[in-house]
Amino acid sequence: MSKIHIIGCGPGHPGFLTAAAFSAVLRADLLVGAEHLLNLFPAVDCQRIAVSGTMTAVLDQVAESEAETVCVLVSGDTGLFSLASHVYQSFRTGTLSITPWNKFHPTGLRPPGD
């Protein structure tokens, strides 16, 4: 099973990305997200899945992927009203991390090392 990082991209402008988000994305074998979020990382050379259609179909592609490190790019907060909860529902193993961490995340995920 892949290590899946849920990466909060804020409002979708490079100036709002955290250093931790950039660091995680640079290590990705697979980026998943809306086209405008994928475009935030033009220099990252890895496989990409643009979110279109249903999330179920996209998450099935992630599950079938041989990528070791997957970054799912989400806009806004990684908590409420985010794709993060869909990802969590599909991959409820110890393979998830969230950047930046939101201690009030509705999934109950805990930060790395906690």
Tens digits of residue pLDDT in 68-95: 999 989 887 666 556 666 676 676 665 7
Residue-level pLDDT at 112: 46
Place of tokens 């990466």: 7
Domain locations in the chain as residue ranges: 3-99
pLDDT tens-digit series, residues 49-66: 998 878 888 888 988 999
CA distance 5 to 2: 9
Give dist(CA 62, CA 31) in Å, integer. Answer: 10
> Among 3.40.190.10, 3.40.1010.10, 3.20.20.190, 3.10.20.30, what is the CATH number of 3-99?
3.40.1010.10
Query: Chain-centre distance of CA 94, in angstroms?
Result: 15
pTM of the model: 0.77
